[in-house]
Structure 1
Amino acid sequence: MSAPSSSWVSRLLLTRFRSYAEASLEAGPEPVVLTGPNGAGKTNILEALSLLSPGRGLRSATYREMEREGDLPGWAVAARLTGRTGQSDVGTGTTADARDRRQFRIDGSPATSADLLATVNVLWLTPSMDRLFVEGATSRRKFFDRMVLALYPEHAGHVARYEAAMRERGRLLAEERGADPVWLSALERKMAEHGVAVAAARRDALGALQRLIDLKDLGGGAGAASPFPNAILALEGEVEARLTTEKALDVEDWMVETLSQRRGPDRMAGRAGFGVHRTDLVVTHAPKSMLASRCSTGEQKALLIGLVLAQTRLVAELTGYWPLLLLDEIAAHLDGRRRDALFDILMSMGVQAWMTGTDADVFVGLKGHAQLWTIDAGKPLRLAF
Structure 2
Amino acid sequence: MHILKLKLGNFRNYTQMSVEFDPRHVVLVGDNGAGKTNLMEAVSLLTPGRGLRRAAYADIPRAGAEQGFSVFASLDGMAGDVDIGTGIEAGDATRRVRINGAPARSADDMLEHLRILWLTPAMDGLFTGTAGDRRRFLDRLVLSVDPAHGRRAADYERAMRSRNRLLSEGRADPVWLDGLEGQMAELGIAMAIARQEVVGMLSSLVDRHGDAAVFPTASLRLEGFADAEKGLASSEQESWLIDQLRVGRHRDAAAGRTLEGPHRADLVVEHRAKDIAAALCSTGEQKALLIGLILAHARLVRDMAGHAPLLLLDEIAAHLDEGRRAALFDLVDALGGQAFMTGTDRGMFSALGERAQMFEVSGGKVTGLGAAGA
Query: Are 2:220 and 1:227 aligned?
Result: no
* Aligned-partner residue type, residue 245 of structure 1: G
Secondary structure of 2:8's counterpart equals strand
User: 5+ residue gaps in structure 2?
Assistant: none
Structure 1 residue 25: deviation in Å?
1.3
Q: Which residue of 1 aligns with 2:274?
A: 288
Query: Are 2:186 and 1:200 aligned?
Result: no
Query: Are 2:207 and 1:211 aligned?
Result: no
Query: Are 2:155 and 1:155 aligned?
Result: no
Q: Which residue of 2 aligns with 1:80?
A: 74
| Residues 216 and 230, structure 1, Cα contact 8 Å, conserved in 2 | no
Structure-to-structure mapping, 1:366-377, within 5 angstroms: 366-377=352-363
Q: Which residue of 2 aligns with 1:317?
A: 303
Question: Against the structure 1 CA distance between its residues 193 and 339, is the aligned structure 2 distance closer, same or farther, given a 3 Å change threshold?
Answer: same
* Aligned-partner residue type, residue 238 of structure 2: E
**TM-score normalised to structure 1 length:** 0.94
Whole-angstrom CA distance in 2 between matches of 1:240 and 1:35: 47
Query: Are 2:57 and 1:63 aligned?
Result: yes
Structure-to-structure mapping, 1:167-316, within 5 angstroms: 167-176=161-170, 178-217=171-210, 222-223=211-212, 226-242=213-229, 244-316=230-302
Match of 1:358 among 339, 344, 353: 344
Q: Deviations over 1:156-196 (max 9, x none)?
A: 111111111111111111114x4212211111111101000
Q: Which residue of 2 aligns with 1:4?
A: none
Whole-angstrom CA distance in 1 between matches of 2:209 and 2:282: 22
**TM-score normalised to structure 2 length:** 0.96
Structure 1 residue 349: deviation in Å?
2.2
Q: Which residue of 2 aligns with 1:3?
A: none
Structure-to-structure mapping, 1:6-17, within 5 angstroms: 7-17=1-11
Query: Are 2:36 and 1:36 aligned?
Result: no
| Residues 85 and 98, structure 2, Cα contact 8 Å, conserved in 1 | yes
Structure 1 residue 240: deviation in Å?
4.4
CA RMSD, 1 decimal = 1.2
Q: Which residue of 2 aligns with 1:123?
A: 117
Structure 1 residue 237: deviation in Å?
3.2
Q: Which residue of 2 aligns with 1:133?
A: 127
User: 5+ residue gaps in structure 1?
Assistant: 1-6
| Residues 239 and 275, structure 1, Cα contact 8 Å, conserved in 2 | no
| Residues 310 and 337, structure 2, Cα contact 8 Å, conserved in 1 | yes
Whole-angstrom CA distance in 1 between matches of 2:95 and 2:149: 20
| Residues 117 and 153, structure 1, Cα contact 8 Å, conserved in 2 | yes
Q: Which residue of 2 aligns with 1:382?
A: 368
Tell me the matched-pair count: 370
Q: Deviations over 1:11-67 (max 9, x none)?
A: 000011111000111111111100111110000110000011001100000111110
